[in-house]
Amino acid sequence: MLAADILNPEGDFPEQPDPTFTRDRFSLKHSHGGGGFRPTVECIPFLNSLLSALPAISGSTAQAPLWPSLAPITGGWSVNDRDSKPEEQYWTTFFASGCRMAREMQEEIARIRRLRDEALELVRLAANPPQSAVFDQPDEGIGYRIGKVQKRALDEIKGLHAKGLERRAE
């Protein structure tokens, strides 16, 4: 037993110069020297689910849509057409539909982008961020032909957090 709450953002001891350091370090992945705790606020299960389900619902030239009647909302299989630049506008029809799930998806994309922006600020890279397969895409193209978007996005954010903690430890 530790007799301390390692996740307490205020720290457990008054003499702690950086009370959130222990919590932040424990929230890093093991591979980054942390405790592996993953706060749910840093996960994107809803976005991850939509990125997986909507392409199947829309279908493609190689696969029939699972739910053809949703084509006016999801964009149908034509969103995969190379001539329409799907990496830039894959979700355009879905976002323009005005449906609640589309709005929530946009909010989730904005939230994960904010998490990355905050992490970039920690390591003073906000003005010149490193390239990112996930975050360099516009919202309308996010996740297009990128496997494991949640893992890639969170690995990048956690890597930035680890660098930020190294800076704080100095």
CA distance 20 to 164: 12
69 domain-assigned: yes
C-alpha separations of 53 from 13, 20, 109, 143 in Å: 47, 37, 16, 12
CA distance 7 to 67: 44
Query: What does the pLDDT look like over 6-39, one tens digit per residue?
Result: 787 777 777 778 888 888 888 888 888 888 888 8
Segment 78-96 shows an average pLDDT of 75
CA distance 169 to 73: 49
List the domain range (segments joined by +) for residue 49. 45-169
Q: What is the CA radius of gyration of the chain?
A: 20
158 domain-assigned: yes
9 domain-assigned: no
User: How many distinct structural domains can be found in the chain?
Assistant: 1
What is the model's pTM?
A: 0.82
